[in-house]
Chain A
Amino acid sequence: MNFLTPGTALIGAAIAVPLLLLLYFLKLRRVEAPISSTLLWKRAVQDLQVNAPFQKLRRNLLLFLQLIVLAAILLALGSPMAKWLESQGRKVILLVDRSASMKTMEADGRRMERVRRAASDYIRGLRPRDEAMLIAFSGEAQVLCQFTRDPAQLQRALERIEPSDGLSKISEALQLAVAYSAPTRIEPLPGAEPAPSAQIALFSDGRIADAEAQVVQRGHLRLFRVGQAVDNVGIVAMDVRRTYERPSELTVFAQVENFGRQPVKIDVRLRLDGRDLHVKELNLGAAAAETPAASRSAIDASPAAQAAVFQLNHDAGGVLELRIDRPDALEIDNVARAMIDPPRRPSVLIVSDRSRVTQLLERAMQGMSVERIDRMGPEEYEQAPEDRLLADGRARYDAIILDNHSTARLPPTGYIFFNGVPLLPDVSMGDPIENERIVTWDQTHPLMRYVSFENVAVARWRAMKLPPYAVKLVEAERSAVVALLPTPGRQFVLCAFDLAETDWWRKIPFVVFLFNSTRYFAAGEGGALAHQVQPGVSIPVPPLRNDGSLSVVRPDGSTDRIDVAPGRIAAYVRTDQAGVYEFKGSNDTYRAAVNLLDRNESRIAPNESFAVGGERVAQAGAEQSINRPLWPYLICAAIAVLLLEWWIYNRRVML
């Protein structure tokens, strides 16, 4: 048994017990009773007072009962807790899931409330010397309460947790937990007992995307699984693309999946800027009972998941919205939005002082749908006024191809360097390499799609010193030949060779490579149009004309500000809500959508078997050790004793 507030009880006892004894001794109100003679009574009292007062106290039943009543009340004041199952750890880390699935409506309110209740019970179950900390996590983890022995503080922190729209990712939370649970001393003192390993109590529905990949290095993880509701239909994927050849034609792909146990018939509605465009009816089968690690193909085969494809003609920007008109337990995945930009054909700038190379490049891009191709010499490029390269804070060109020229002038856009490098830290050209063979190339990368380096002769190239984040696309034995250097706002494709010293330009893959590159630069990875990210992922905001900061209108209408240097790409990280974020510069705006689009979150049924690092985690579920408040029982006992006392007093039972 533990006491939550022993101090209060002790103070109460210090006041009340002497007071009761004092009142007992004073006994100001005595009932007068006539008696024939006090002769014998006085003698009896005198006889008894020989050993007074302690004998008297001990022998007086009524006072004794009063003391019992008082003790019961005082014990109740101390909030005693009975622990039916003892937990051993002295350091406890509470990980509370607050991912989007916590917004699921259960029969008795949001799933978050259940989690909160479970965690609250657990906190009440802590012993007074237990230290606990509270970490809430969705995509990222947040320490809400440092290690403390004050349960009230933990409860307050727990009350503050609100479900976000983010995904469930436990890795950061576990890293935090491990970091915090590390003992303060590296080497335990000789003879000292080893630092107790921390207990990690995880309050979740068990749907955690990266749980399998985690390893609990220190401590013992227990899962308190919460949740019951399963009925949910959600949009799990969405993509919007413009057909390259006909830029006004938009194709919207959506994957809709039923996670409930009953087959459903739903309408998927496509809306553009608030107007309904199309409705598609889908018949979705019931979800398979449990597919722990469902592969992609398995989902496609399942009748529970179906794709909805919409096609429409729209040659302006706007907000596309997909909506499922069916109320279910989780609302947030019934809507997905995508921002579409007006169709734009890429503009290209070629910087070269060699007309032959310029011609080669121009000829290669002839077949591509390019807005325009400009030419400049290297000196002209270096000295060109700012507005020749930038318009409205954005680069005028979608791609700049530099031949034999290394430069530090790098407006935010895409670059292809031939025999040159951007003058960035960690990037430099080294010694020439000759007579080496190209060994491998990455065919899976979007830039290298349908690009082969087979039978390409490269006479020589120069070794490149690249930072670790560079993606090596083509590699020789000792160095990279072609590499992608993704930096915020700029993409650099570095070719270590002189274009004139290869026969690559003669071959079709070179054209495809240029095509891939310009598309990659113009439309982002994969050519998708939609400016959409998942909750918790930062939104890259392209340079907008601004006066040092951008105002952000969040989906719930609240506003925020981010500081950004002019002409630089900003990143907005507080994307915990799903919906449309609007970034306002001085005269132009940029919009981006945050969508859940996550099968793992949409599958709201609690996970039957939860494993971390391949090991099944103990489910605390039923035999969970919680503190039961004992004060009501004590109050009842006090009342019972009081009644007994009353009965004794009235029945004049002398014991």
Chain B
Amino acid sequence: MVTPADAPQSREELLEPGFMSRLEQLEILSRKIFASRQKGERRSRRKGQSVEFADYRNYVIGDDLRFVDWNIYARLERLFLKLFMEEEDLNVSLLIDVSRSMRFGEPDKSLYSRRVAAAMAYIGLCNLDRVNLYAYSDRIVQERAGLRGRRMMQRVVQFLCEAPCAGTSALGPAARQFAIRHTQKGIVVLVSDFFDKTGFEEGMKYLIGRNMDIYVVQVLSPQEVNPPLAGDLRLVDVEDADAAEITVSRPLLDRYKANLHAYCTSLRDYCVRRGANYLLATTDVPFDHLVLDYFHRRGLLR
């Protein structure tokens, strides 16, 4: 594994301190309320043993007498049981595409995606969520699961700095691996450019099949949206060295853009139909803007 030369080296490179303090105000929202194993700071659907009162219910035999409301019993001579809110933690899984195509573009898609991941991870850690990091290309190349607590941010930064940029992108096998390893429910944030020659559908199926709350962030560089190409070119794919000979012309560029648009639209439609959130970001949009504004508006963050 080769650490890319332009990979981020420190936390400051990934997240500025001022930005981090703003991130601390946020928390990751899940539209679904998942059952978790551990107690956390997140209100659960289950009634549990927190300090926050939730409801009453009739006493049935076998209930813990400690939760009987004796004041009501004194007044009404009937047994009611006090129910409290249960607070649980949330599984936040970040899948980051680290295939070679992510290193394309100016600003770099790779750095951009890592920053997004760092921000999301930091938010999760601040809220005592369980943060799982996975770097994938055609498989999961690196993972770090079960990070919890703000102190773990160092591990997150280390992970993001060490994740290599290599391999071809194939979401299918990587998602399958992820689904097998990661059985808990929670939020999945998938950051990729989705330039996947095997198609994104198979991978998405694995993720959606697990009934997770999925956020798909497609990162594109401006050079991909608006290619600055001219002349007779031999385009070489940075992942598999596949070549395409083209003569750049207005019709060709128009056709490319139409195809790109169609591709992104098909991805979005796929996600929306299956209850996943889709977000398209180009790397020329400042990443803090993306996190603070876009994610907020899309309901991923609060």
Contacts and interface: CB of A to CB of B under 8 A. Distances in A.
Interface of A: 27, 29-45, 47-48, 56, 59-62, 649, 652, 654-655
B220 to A, nearest CB: 9
B249 A35 contact: no
Nearest to B103: A36
A303 to B, nearest CB: 83
B263 interface: yes
B259 A44 contact: yes
A27 B259 contact: no
A36 B255 contact: no
Contact of B237 (A31, A35, A649, A654): A35
Contacts of B263: 40
Q: How large is the interface on B (under 10, 10 to 19, 20 to 34, 35 or more residues)?
A: 35 or more
A652 to B, nearest CB: 4
Contact of B253 (A31, A38, A654): A654
Contacts, number: 105
Which of A34, A41, A44, A60 is the most central at the interface, judged by chain B CB atoms within 10 Å of its CB? A41
Q: Which 8 residue pairs spanning A and B have beta carbons closest together?
A: A37-B195, A36-B104, A652-B230, A30-B234, A654-B250, A44-B255, A36-B101, A38-B244
27 contacts: A30-B233, A31-B231, A35-B238, A36-B104, A36-B221, A36-B239, A37-B239, A38-B235, A38-B236, A38-B242, A39-B196, A40-B263, A41-B235, A41-B246, A44-B252, A44-B256, A45-B244, A45-B252, A47-B255, A47-B259, A56-B247, A60-B247, A61-B249, A649-B231, A652-B229, A652-B230, A654-B250
Contacts of A37: 101, 193, 195, 197, 237-239
Given A47-B255, A654-B230, 5 more contacts: A27-B245, A30-B232, A41-B244, A47-B259, A62-B247
A224 B197 CA distance: 80
B250 A59 contact: yes
Which of B101, B228, B256 is the most central at the interface, judged by chain A CB atoms within 10 Å of its CB? B256
A61 B230 CA distance: 12
Which of B231, B244, B252 is the most central at the interface, judged by chain A CB atoms within 10 Å of its CB? B244
B221 A30 contact: no
B105 interface: yes
B255 A48 contact: yes
B262 to A, nearest CB: 9
A32 B234 contact: yes
A413 B198 CA distance: 124
Contacts of B224: 36
A600 to B, nearest CB: 73
A48 B237 CA distance: 20
A34 B104 contact: yes
A34 B230 contact: no
A35 B104 contact: yes
Nearest to B227: A35
B106 to A, nearest CB: 12
A35 B104 CA distance: 7
Which of B228, B245, B247, B256 is the most central at the interface, judged by chain A CB atoms within 10 Å of its CB? B247
Nearest to A56: B247
A43 to B, nearest CB: 5
A35 B235 contact: yes
B231 A38 contact: no
A31 B234 contact: yes
Contacts of A61: 249-250
Nearest to B238: A34
A62 B247 CA distance: 10
A38 B243 contact: yes
A655 B109 CA distance: 30
Contact of B249 (A30, A39, A42, A60): A60
Main DSSP-derived SS at the B contact region:
mixed
B251 interface: yes
Nearest to B242: A38
Contacts of B242: 38
Contact of B228 (A27, A31, A652): A652
A366 to B, nearest CB: 116
B167 to A, nearest CB: 13
A43 B259 CA distance: 8
A654 to B, nearest CB: 4
Nearest to B256: A44
Contacts of A43: 259
A31 B232 contact: yes
A655 B229 CA distance: 13
Which of A33, A48, A62 is the most central at the interface, judged by chain B CB atoms within 10 Å of its CB? A33
A255 to B, nearest CB: 83
A330 B194 CA distance: 94
Nearest to A28: B232
B248 interface: yes
A35 B231 CA distance: 15
Nearest to A27: B232
A33 B195 CA distance: 17
B219 to A, nearest CB: 11
Contacts of A39: 195-197
Contact of B256 (A29, A30, A34, A40): A40
A28 to B, nearest CB: 10
Interface string B93-116: 000000001001100010000000
Given A31-B233, A37-B239, A39-B195, A655 B244 contact: no
B285 interface: no
A510 to B, nearest CB: 111
A36 B244 CA distance: 12
Given A37-B195, A39-B197, A32 B236 contact: yes
Contacts of A34: 104, 235-236, 238
Contacts of A45: 244-246, 252
B260 interface: yes
Contacts of A27: 232, 245, 247
A43 B235 CA distance: 13
Contacts of B246: 41, 44-45
A230 to B, nearest CB: 66
A48 B230 contact: no
B255 A33 contact: no
A640 B234 CA distance: 29
Given A30-B234, A42-B244, A36 B105 contact: yes
Contacts of B249: 59-61, 654
A33 B234 contact: yes
Contacts of B197: 37, 39
B183 to A, nearest CB: 32
A61 B250 CA distance: 9
A37 B246 CA distance: 14
Nearest to B255: A44
Contacts of B232: 27, 29-31
Contact of A35 (B109, B236, B260): B236
A27 B234 CA distance: 11
Nearest to B250: A654
A310 B229 CA distance: 97
A623 B256 CA distance: 60
A61 B248 CA distance: 10
Nearest to B243: A38
Nearest to A59: B251
A36 B193 contact: yes
B59 to A, nearest CB: 63
Contacts of A60: 247, 249
Contacts of A36: 101, 104-105, 109, 193, 195, 221, 224, 237-239
B228 to A, nearest CB: 7
A40 B101 contact: no
Contacts of B255: 44, 47-48
Nearest to B235: A35
A40 B235 contact: no
A130 to B, nearest CB: 47
Contacts of A44: 246, 252, 255-256, 258-259
Which of B101, B197, B224, B235 is the most central at the interface, judged by chain A CB atoms within 10 Å of its CB? B235
A652 B232 CA distance: 12
A654 B242 CA distance: 26
A60 B250 CA distance: 9
